[in-house]
Structure 1
């Protein structure tokens, strides 16, 4: 992609105009016909004028990424010279047909748009090389002409609702990068997929139901990057994977390999160029030693991820053969007892993660630059933290800070001057006694301004040092911050002032009772780039007061185990809400603020809620909700007409692991007239579908898993008639022969 943009930049005249999106180009003083590149800046509150681009016939580059785009104006079709169009987050469901007249376009980005279909004439964009449709969750199929995009090199369909690719997808013979991750509706790829012989990057992660890989995978001999994370039915791929000798990246995280793991070592023998291997949570105890010995022969391996393999109990001495290894993730390997002495011989090792390895003998750890355990020196009067004085690694995790003997020791390592550190973790051990008050130690461990990822865990003091209360000044580049297990802190730092913060995790802060302007930093424009926020295990948090113009780009909000929390004045504007074990959040009687999250939130996941559905007041404020997932909840009873009205836009409903043994799906299910997908999983108490099921005229897919009596009900001849209007009736794996 970078080469593509570079070539484009070279090809245009160096003449650029920044403008106000609410005005027509005719109002600009510069002659519009001479414009070559146009980028609207900070125009998220204004709408595009319908004739905005009509005069700019020579435009080559148009960047609307900072605009509020209700719909693309028809005048865009007159930009015959346009090569680059960046137009994410379009709110309208349709893309105008005129966009297919941009015959010279080579780059098109419609990321996170609300569109439900592409124009049928999409295939006329013969020059298009880069097409980004990621997070366009409304798109369910590609037009037949799509496979005419013969110049296409890069295609991103991440997070779309596509259930099947066109049979002629193999016509895209120049495709090199294909992202199908999180397309959970796809069960099989066309046989013609084997014709994509130039493909170098293929991401199929989170395609849970995808099978039949052996039909085409072996033909993709140029693959360098393959991600199969959470592909749960890939089967034995000995011959297919073993032939991908150019593979450098292989992700098999969460793939159920334990039943037939014997094929994987046979594959690894041939993957001599592999530099990245992820086997998260997929190694069986019986095969672990054999498999690891084969892994230790991969001489080019740089990154090895064995996260959450609870059956892994030893690492072979041969690990030292991995002379290029720089990252080793062993976190949550709870049965791992010790590390081999030979691991200290890997001079390239920079990042070693053994967090939550509860059985691990910490004395076997190498004093790795990235994982540094503080302990008392031989004399007992000082600690070993001073060994970090002359080190400046890119990642640094300092554990067991309770063993620091004086604040002067912490000051001596001059952490603030280490200009290579980008990721920093500081941790005190839970329950351990401190030699020095934590605040005094943390005051001397002010991070350098280069840090982008910061984690603070186990800190026991009641207040933060001055640098944390002015964190935006000290850490202006910070993109992710985690505050976990801080039991005594009663105030939060002004994190809302951080200009580049994208991810925020706060958990186990028992003294926090309220979230308000203190967290925002006293500004109405707080958290300008935050995309994900989690509040977990905040047992005494009672109140969250929203402010105006905060979280403008929030895509995900997770609230877990916050039993006392209620929203007071409104909801954060988030695309997705995850709520678990926090009933009062679900029951919050909010004051409707007009421009509420009803327009922003399209997915709600509710876990472990004991309150009946008709008391879920939160639903009244989510009128644009399209996807509702309910798991481990007790009561689906609902007779409230206004709550049912709030679900009128619902397209996907998933019910999983109901707690009761006598659950009856309510008759109101038939009132969800927009419902397209209905999933029931592990609810053995659900024995029948309601009579109103025939009212769901839009439903396309019924998915049943681990509900034996419900499956039998569906098989009866009488009930097959009631379900005749549903196109697909399946179980997650395998398909039920209904």
Structure 2
């Protein structure tokens, strides 16, 4: 038995089922109606459904019934609050006491703020909120509290409603200071154990009375750039465990020997690290990222090398400086320097869980690191963004506990060591942006269970074992592309990877190979590949089923944070999801969807459609006959779109676009405005138009007659630019810039030279153009003239002297142009002549008598650039 739910309620029920693991329950049949009734109370708000799903997951059937009958549903009246607030309050009431404490603590963060998960976990631990129980460490237990069970640091967001709940249960214990007053505030809160003064630019000094906060264990002073003095009493906070001095100008550690976590990132004006730093023997987490005053970092840490290999200050080596930090588990050395070297004198340095070293580390640095006594305990090594790292040495094979290796954006990395295949624990390797590694990876002997990121290729396996997609279970990257999805043999295989829980993912691409044999239909697979709610970029390629799964047809409820969507090569689907209801969507591309013949109001999906869309690309939509850009029933016109690429399609009404890009679209440039053309178009504010691969003569580009505000016209590879139409010429009177690129054009049409008010002309890659026509003399308003990569050009006409407004002549990569016309001497306004990659012309300019012809150029001596 089941209830008849409306679409929004059905979405809520689907979300509850997913987050409560409903399908895995043995009593799901008796719980279905109860669960559906609960779904009707969520108001179609995904956050409410998610919260209830998590709450219901461990509950027995009688607890499901009790929650459904709770009186809390009657406590609020407004539409959103009545669904979300009770749901979250019920979730809070059903939490264990230690979870309630951790949740309530989050009230200290402002609404909408981003919270680093790792930092939040350590604050909980420092404050004693995480209970040690079971066989797991407190850190692992705290990971469970966040529901973000991944080793990579992710960002959490404080939802407005969640903040209201947290504040409602902690108000008596929370003190909010709107400004920095004086030391008296401390007299009232001497039992305080957490204090945050983040980003208080008006604060120049901490009062001596801070020593009264004897219970203080966590202090955040990040961004206090005007903090010029730390009192001596600061060093007496002997219970301090967590200290954030990011972007501060003063450092002091005194007797803070209990300190376990220290953030010194972006302390760019700090002159030196105090000697007391060496006393922090309990330090487990040290963040020195973007500590840009490298001179003083070098002086204190020694043995490091500058960008040019020059040794700076002191002979102490980094392992020596860290020698007393025997409990160190996390070290971030993301310094903007090119060559770091560390001595081989390994001390008791433990880099146990994460070691991050970015931006300019070489292989010698790695070789030294691997000799540190405890580095072989490292599970995660982040070397991303090292522009100077060209080789990864075999010493990496010593890291036997390594699980993830991030080499993303190491642009010059050319090899992977053979020893990498000997690390049996290694599960994922991120080579995003490593162009030099592409051929190496294809030949490498890396063991078969290693996940290459971001592009994971699904491989079909034994029928009983299924494909290798199960390898994605243990990874949670920022970017993920899953290719060859046709090799997945059952929806159950996809369900195992739990994509919904991979909350680090920001960009996801799902790709099937066109025409490849399938083991199961694509909808079964895609239905189980619902992404996490917070991700932002989505690309769907090669999907071949007629219909889309529910999470796509109701996409705004499931993925409200999307900002970019690409749907490409989808041959069978004839309907578009209501993408207009994605309130954050900025870029949309629809490409190669032959079943789509009309784009109309279904794409908007209702009112307030596409409020932030600025780029809309329609490409190779061979069957598209009509695009209705104005839908009265939805009260929407595409007025905010800033960039549009159109295929061969008749446009009903133009709207007020800022920029158009028209490719292979003869119907658009020829017939726009005919018949159904809207009067709204006469006020079109389009300022930029790109036209590509158009076969219609310029004489017939009637679209130009409806763009009164057009300032830039860029024409690429159009067959016929002949124009004798006064109407077309007049429509271009407001033009400020024209760019023409045509590899086949042998002569610049005379009609283009009738644009007497045109101030800027760029001729780009006109490979067969040998000269400029005499009609150029009509371009009397021309100021800059650019001739770029016109490989056949041998002559500039004497009529160039008629261009009396010419200020700049820029000639680039015209190898057969041998001289400038004599009339160059009579151009009264000429200020700059730039000549590059023109060897013949360069030699002409260097002859003494020719230099005299250019002597009148106003800006000297830098006006002539050759």
TM range (shorter): 0.5 to 0.7
**Which residue pairs with 2:701 in the alignment?**
616
Answering whether residue 645 of structure 2 is matched by residue 558 of structure 1, we say yes
Matched, 1:586 2:669: yes
Q: Secondary structure at the match of 2:793?
A: helix
1:533 aligns with 2:592: no
Q: How does 1:69-108 map to 2 (within 5 A)?
A: none
Cα pair distance change 1:618/1:688, threshold 3 Å: same
Decide whether aligned partners of structure 1 residues 435 and 392 sit closer, same or farther in structure 2, where only a CA change above 3 A counts: same
> 1:488-531 CA distances to partner (integer Å, 9 max, x unpaired)?
222211111111011212222222222222222243x3211112
- Preserved contact between residue 508 and residue 539 of structure 1 (Cα < 8 Å): yes
CA shift, 1:383, in A, is 2.4
Which of these residues, 474, 480, 489, is aligned with residue 573 of structure 2?
489
Q: Which residue of 2 aligns with 1:637?
A: 722
Q: SS of the residue aligned with 1:653?
A: strand
Give the alignment partner of residue 372 of structure 1, picking from 451, 456, 459.
456
Does structure 1 residue 517 correspond to structure 2 residue 601? Answer: yes
What's 1:361 paired with?
442
| Structure 2 residue aligned with 1:426 | 510
Aligned counterpart, 2:406: 326
1:460-499 correspondence to structure 2 within 5 Å: 460-499=544-583
Contact between 1:303 and 1:325, CA under 8 Å: does it hold in 2?
A: no
* Deviation for aligned residue 1:634: 2.1
Instruction: For residues 282-324 of structure 1, give each alpha carbon's deviation from its aligned partner in whole angstroms, at most 9, with x where no partner exists.
Output: xxxxxxxxx9989999998413699xxxxxxx98766959999
Distance 2:490 2:670 in 1: 49
Alignment CA distance shift 1:305-1:655 (3 Å): farther
CA RMSD of aligned residues (A): 4.5
Normalising by structure 2, what TM-score? 0.46
| 2:715 counterpart SS class | strand
Asked if 1 retains the 8 angstrom alpha-carbon contact of 2:655 and 2:680, the reply is no
Distance 1:690 1:296, change over 3 A: farther
Q: Do 1:371 and 1:399's aligned partners in 2 also have CA atoms closer than 8 Å?
A: yes
Distance (whole Å) between structure 2 residues aligned to residue 485 and residue 341 of structure 1: 38
CA distance in 2, matches of 1:319, 1:601: 58
Q: Find the counterpart in structure 2 of residue 500 from structure 1.
A: 584
| SS of equivalent to 1:596 | helix
Find the aligned partners of 1:500 and 1:529 in 2 and give their Cα distance.
6
What is the alpha-carbon distance in structure 2 between the residues aligned to residue 361 and residue 337 of structure 1?
13
Counterpart in 2 of 1:577? Answer: 660
Count of residue correspondences: 455
Whole-angstrom distance in 1 between the partners of 2:618 and 2:786: 32
1:360-403 deviation per Cα after TM superposition (whole angstroms, max 9, x unaligned):
73986731464433223456442233343454443332222112
Alignment CA distance shift 1:421-1:687 (3 Å):
closer
Q: Is the 8 A contact 2:738 2:762 kept in 1?
A: yes
Aligned partner of residue 386 in structure 1, secondary structure: helix
Matched residues in 2 for 1:574 and 1:426: separation?
A: 31
The residue correspondences of 1:178-577 to structure 2 (distance < 5 A) are: 242=308, 270=339, 275=358, 301-303=383-385, 326=406, 328=408, 341=418, 349-350=429-430, 352=432, 361=442, 366-368=450-452, 370-378=454-462, 380-389=464-473, 391-523=475-607, 525-547=608-630, 549-559=636-646, 562=647, 565-571=648-654, 573-577=656-660
How far off is 1:465 after superposition? 0.9
Select the structure that is richer in helix.
2
1:706 aligns with 2:789: yes
Determine the C-alpha separation between the residues in 2 that align with 1:585 and 1:616.
9
Taking structure 1 as reference, are residues 570 and 652 closer, same or farther at Cα in structure 2, changes over 3 Å only?
Answer: same
Aligned equivalents of 1:630 and 1:439: distance in 2? 41
Match of 1:229 in 2: none
Task: Measure, in 1, the Cα distance between the counterparts of 2:836 and 2:656.
Answer: 32
Contact 1:500 1:528 in 2 (8 A): yes
How far 1:651 sits from its partner (Å)? 0.9
| Contact 2:338 2:362 (C-alpha < 8 Å) held by counterparts | no
* SS in structure 2 of the partner of residue 605 of structure 1: strand
Q: Is the 8 A contact 1:613 1:638 kept in 2?
A: yes
CA distance in 1, matches of 2:737, 2:610: 30
